[in-house]
Structure 1
Amino acid sequence: MYKTDFLVLGSGISGLSFALKIAEKYKDATVTIVTKNEIDESNTKYAQGGIASVYNQSVDTFEQHIEDTLVAGDGLCDEKVVRMVIKDAPTRIQELIDWGTRFDTNKKGTFDLGKEGGHSQNRVLHYKDITGGEIERALIEQVKEADNINYLTYHYAIDLITEHQAQKKKTKRNSKLSCFGAYVLDAKADVVKTFVSKFTLLATGGSGQVYTTTTNPEVATGDGLGLAYRAKAEISEVEFIQFHPTALYNPGEYPAFLISEAVRGFGAKLRDFKKQKFMHRYDDREELASRDIVARAIDNELKRSGAAHVYLDCTHLDFEKFQAHFPNITEKCASLGIDIRNDFIPVVPASHYICGGVNVNKKAKTSIKNLYACGEVSRTGLHGANRLASNSLLEALVYSHRAFLNASKKYAKVNMPDNIPVWNDSGVVKNMENILITHDRAEVKTIMSNYVGIVRSDERLLRAERRLKGLYEDNKRLYDHSELSIDLCELRNLITTAYLITQFSKNRKTNCGGFYNLDLIGN
């Protein structure tokens, strides 16, 4: 059994920034970060576009950013949350800069602010086309210098510890529960460790791996949703899946390489299989419409034509400026024989971001006492039915700060029970058929992509529900009687996440934002 004051599950922008603030404020506190891969492997690392904030107040205002967010969220944003996050943005981003994060500047020495779909002004801070990687670099350097932060790689959270384990009694979803830490699989030592903690932060990232085509790294398997659901935390609005309109079409590459939203903000145009422009038929903003509109437009063009992809045209853009702004995208295209000065880039939509998640209030508190959630795993009310581009890193920063503030107030008052049982794996045997795990994982992806994708229907959702129920039963038998592995635990969370997305989709009766059901047209 391991005791720590603060247990952080995940090593993206929200988990690392929370850990740094706690470690700085409480020098005598122990902070433990567990992450299932290398410390820098997270959705944050792969964020290309940037982080939105009102910096040039001579042309931009908080009200404009607020309005853009509300419009993108299609009526489901919590306006109080939107105002809180956007007005707090400059302060939180300054903290990133103080920690060593670099953002691109122009010849005048001010921030080179980009513009992305849904934004009415240039307000996206970026570092070339690897903004997330730059943020990760800076934060990890700070974490490694902190004496009271212990980070454990290749450690995978299996389940949260609540009264269900501590007192060995059944609990209901609306019970008043507390979190006491988590059971964590040390993958290299092949042992389950019991981490008892005063506070636990879910910062586990996204769920893109439930789909066949995704921009998310392989670690994005819905682990936080699975953990929270089994612990009986409140979850909502997971039916709103944001599909990024422009992932590079390159069969066999997984995950899909992202062609940043900022490329369209830079002036790139979408073209159909006949190489004709088409976005003017769907929205007056054309390529700068919100992601849900652009993704559905491309999906419609693909189904109408039967083509495998559409094109992104950058041939008319200033190549030197483009290359300076998007060096990795330029290099990636060139490696595939695509010269963006003369060739169109083949693109398709790919699952990118889940807008709902574990319910939290404005203090980042979940429905379970002493359990916080930040970043993509959470549902804060900022995004509503559709995330405005480059608001996600911002949300993670603001809510990790809110979690830090609230946990700080309660730190000295929390006492831990002494009757928490260690993990019991008696009676399990080594699973000799890993093919079952890989087969079921592929089946989850196929089900979700075919039936619970950009466009859904009642019949598709029913089929998904039936097939996922069968997979759940099969996986439960395997899980209950097998030695644990990360692959097996990830499959359990993928199935749980897929089932939740399907159930919430069945229950939604109106189309909005990232949710679109053919049987609800007109509602």
Structure 2
Amino acid sequence: MSIAVVGSGIAGLTAALHAHETGHAVTVFTKGALGDGCTPHAQGGVAGVYGAGDSPAAHAEDTASAGAGLSDPDAVDVLVSEGAARITELIARGVAFDRAGDGTLLLGREAAHSAARIVHAGGDATGAEIARALTAAARAADIEIVEGAFLVDLLLAERAVRGVRILLDGVVVDRPADAVILATGGAGQLFAHTTNPVGATGDGIAAAMRAGAAVADLEFVQFHPTILAGGAPFLISEAVRGEGATLVDEDGHRFCFDEHPDGELAPRDVVARAIARRSARQGSPVRLDASALGAGRLAERFPTIDRVTGQRGFDWSRETIPVTPAAHYLMGGVVTDLDGRTTLDGLFAAGEAARTGVHGANRLASNSLLEGAVFGARAAAAAARASAAITSSAMDLRVGAGSDREHPQDAGHAAAAFARETLQQLMWENVGLLRTDEGLAEALTTTRAWQAQAPAPASIAEHEDANLLLLAAATASAALARTESVGAHFRERSLIGAR
């Protein structure tokens, strides 16, 4: 039977390889080139290797704690119990994780982890190494790969997903399949400042919404605390703080301890908000001080960061560097069960596009690559079982009927002219790190007005804009509905109530 995988990061390629190895015909549709997306940009590692005094139970406890009590305990148990097998599998597929002189895996520690349990590759190039190995494995297998394929919509027969509609070389093409696995990543391009590549426009989540699939937790957007301020966004891995780097204000004060007893190693949402508040107070970026690690250690452990900071004019072995938060990871997405099944028959999801329940309100560092590998494999197994049960017959295929542009109740709102940059700034200011009732309401009203005025999309850029608008409105709506502050979702006191 045929399985379509949309996306070619760690979740998509893991799913494709597993489905292929169970004897199914697999086609990978990827928006750019094979292996593009967020995975090759991941500097952090893969959590899940347990040394002396550590255990899956401790990893689960750290994951639940970072998730602010909203993680699904069953999903977390799957993650930590199957993580070691998936890491072993990555090694077998050719991923060269960093090792000590005696050949054992080097284990690192990052914020909110109680032990060193994270494997890396190339120091700070883990994602690039994983993408390299999985891309090579996919090309070596008998897997059809369609590059430059933009997902327009899902094909439906009744309420079952039976293929994809793609835009390829300017032509719309329908590709039927017995099952579809979405692994299209998140929607970091909703925000003016993001670590995500330009293609992270939420295409899979939006297509699933139009088809009628349930989504959840879109309000939980993780903002990475430390992006090099100035110039193109460049992430300074959390592992740098795990190795002992500190965050200081203009007076040299380690202000993170004012917010949390773990200081720089507090959960990401806490550190990101602390940075945002202190930067606003002093009117300039805070600084990351890694000088105590020394030039040799920084170059060895973080070669990519060492190279880029040098190119930007900094010697971070001798001086502090300016950092600022940026949108990084979406904890919500298409609702799935423990096997990647969505609320639509024939549709599965894995990776950042999925809401597995693992992350709750905030993702623990280095759990994202692990989640992609673990649940990508599980989604492939479930999709293979589901597609094998389908008997071939003529099907009346159609695309999702849900509209992302029909909001007549908001059509009269006097919104500024739409541009993607305007949307991104609106979301950054009103649905970013610090949220208010008024800001969220303004974002929702404005995005719905833009949806009502938008023409039917034709080009890839227009389809991306439509997807971003759909997700922007859904994110603002979800954030308005969750009135309490929890994890990455932080509600400041209403301006009206403060008067």
TM class, shorter-chain normalised?
over 0.9
Amino acid at match of 1:5: S
**1:210-243 deviation per Cα after TM superposition (whole angstroms, max 9, x unaligned):** 0000000011111111111101100101100100
The one of 127, 130, 137 equivalent to 2:132 is: 137
1:335 matched to 2:314? The reply is no
Q: 1:15 aligns with which of 12, 15, 18?
A: 12
Q: CA deviation at 1:520?
A: 7.5
SS at match of 1:330: helix
- Residues 235-274 of structure 1: matches in 2 within 5 Å? 235-251=215-231, 253=232, 256-274=233-251
TM norm structure 1:
0.89
Deviation at residue 416 of structure 1 after TM alignment:
4.7
Question: 1:468 matched to which residue of 2?
Answer: 447
Alignment correspondent of 1:277 = 254
| 1:12-91 map, 5 Å | 12-26=9-23, 29-56=24-51, 58-91=52-85
| Partner of residue 390 from structure 2, selected from 414, 420, 435 | 414
Which of 299, 311, 324 is matched with 2:300 structurally? 324
* Aligned counterparts of 1:520 and 1:32: Cα–Cα separation in 2: 49
1:384 aligns with 2:360: yes
The aligned residue for residue 358 of structure 1 is 334
C-alpha contact (below 8 Å) 2:118/2:366 kept by paired residues: yes
CA distance in structure 1 between the partners assigned to 2:295 and 2:104 by the alignment: 23
- Name the residue aligned to 1:428: none
Alpha-carbon deviation of 1:68? Answer: 0.5
State whether residues 362 and 487 of structure 2, in contact with CA within 8 Å, keep that contact through their aligned partners in structure 1.
yes
Q: CA deviation at 1:364?
A: 0.7
**1:59 Cα offset (Å):** 2.1
1:486 maps onto 2:460 in alignment: yes
Counterpart in the other structure of 1:312: 288
Which residue of structure 1 aligns with residue 413 of structure 2?
none
Equivalent pair of 1:511/1:520 in contact (CA under 8 Å): no
Aligned AA for 1:178? A
- Judge conservation of contact 1:221–1:494 (CA < 8 Å) in 2: yes
Q: CA deviation at 1:193?
A: 0.6
- Unaligned ranges ≥5, structure 1: 168-176, 424-437
Give CA deviations for 1:27-74 in whole Å, capped at 9, x if unaligned: xx3211111111121111111111100331x22111211110111000
Correspondence for 2:490? 516
SS at match of 1:448: helix
Matches within 5 A, 1:488-507: 488-507=462-481
Cα offset for 1:304?
Answer: 1.6
Whether 1:290 and 2:267 are equivalent positions in the alignment is yes
**Residues 162, 397 of structure 2: 8 Å contact kept:** no
8 A contact 2:155–2:397 mirrored in 1: no
Q: Which runs of 5+ in 2 are unaligned?
A: 400-416
Q: Any idea what the Cα deviations from partners look like across 1:270-304, whole Å, max 9, x if unmatched?
A: 01133332111111111110100000100110122
Which portions of structure 1, spanning 4 or more consecutive aligned residues, are displaced by more than 4 angstroms?
none
- Sequence identity (%): 38
Aligned-partner residue type, residue 29 of structure 2: V
Separation (CA, whole Å) in 2 of partners of 1:503 and 1:422: 28
Is the aligned partner of 1:441 residue 2:420? yes
Q: Is the 8 A contact 1:268 1:313 kept in 2?
A: yes
- Summarize the Cα distance change of 1:502–1:43 in structure 2 as closer, same or farther, 3 Å threshold: same
Structure 1 contact 197–416 (Cα < 8 Å) conserved: no
Instruction: Give the TM-score of the pair, scaled to structure 2.
Output: 0.93
Q: CA separation in 1, counterparts of 2:384 and 2:429? A: 46
Secondary structure of 2:151's partner?
strand
Q: Name the CA distance, whole Å, in 2 between partners of 1:416 and 1:359.
A: 27
Q: Offset of 1:409 from its aligned partner? A: 2.4
- Per-residue displacement from partner, 1:358-412 (whole Å, max 9, x unpaired)? 1000111000001000000111110000000000111111111111222232332
> Relative to 1, partners in 2 of residues 1:422 and 1:70: Cα closer, same or farther, differing over 3 Å?
closer
**2:182 is matched with which residue?**
202
Whole-Å separation in 1 of the counterparts to 2:212 and 2:397: 19
Which amino acid letter does the alignment assign opposite residue 298 of structure 1? I
Partners of 2:394 and 2:453 in 1: CA distance:
36
Correspondence list, 1:114-153, <5 A: 114-127=108-121, 128-147=123-142, 149-153=143-147
Secondary structure of the structure 1 residue equivalent to 2:377: helix
Instruction: Give the secondary-structure state (helix, strand or coil) at the position aligned to 1:358.
Output: strand
Secondary structure of residue in 2 paired with 1:321: helix
In 2, Cα distance between equivalents of 1:466 and 1:130: 41
* Cα pair 2:418 2:450 within 8 Å, conserved: no
CA distance in 2, matches of 1:289, 1:505: 23
1:113 aligns with 2:107: yes
Letter in 1 for 2:469: I
C-alpha contact 2:225 2:272 (8 A) present in aligned 1: yes
Structure 1 pair 416/221, CA: closer, same or farther in 2 (3 Å)? Answer: farther
Q: 1:422 to 1:69 in 2, by over 3 A?
A: closer
Count of residues in Structure 1 that have an aligned counterpart in Structure 2: 478
**How far apart, CA to CA, are the structure 2 residues paired with 1:299 and 1:312?**
14
Of 404-413 and 127-136, the range deviating more from structure 2? 404-413
Is the Cα contact below 8 Å between 2:50 and 2:56 reproduced in 1? Answer: no
Question: Aligned-pair distance for 1:473?
Answer: 1.5
- Contact kept? 1:54, 1:65, Cα under 8 Å: no
Structure 2 residue aligned with 1:181, among 151, 163, 169? 163
Alpha carbons 1:10, 1:34 under 8 Å: kept: yes
The secondary structure found in structure 2 opposite 1:316 is helix
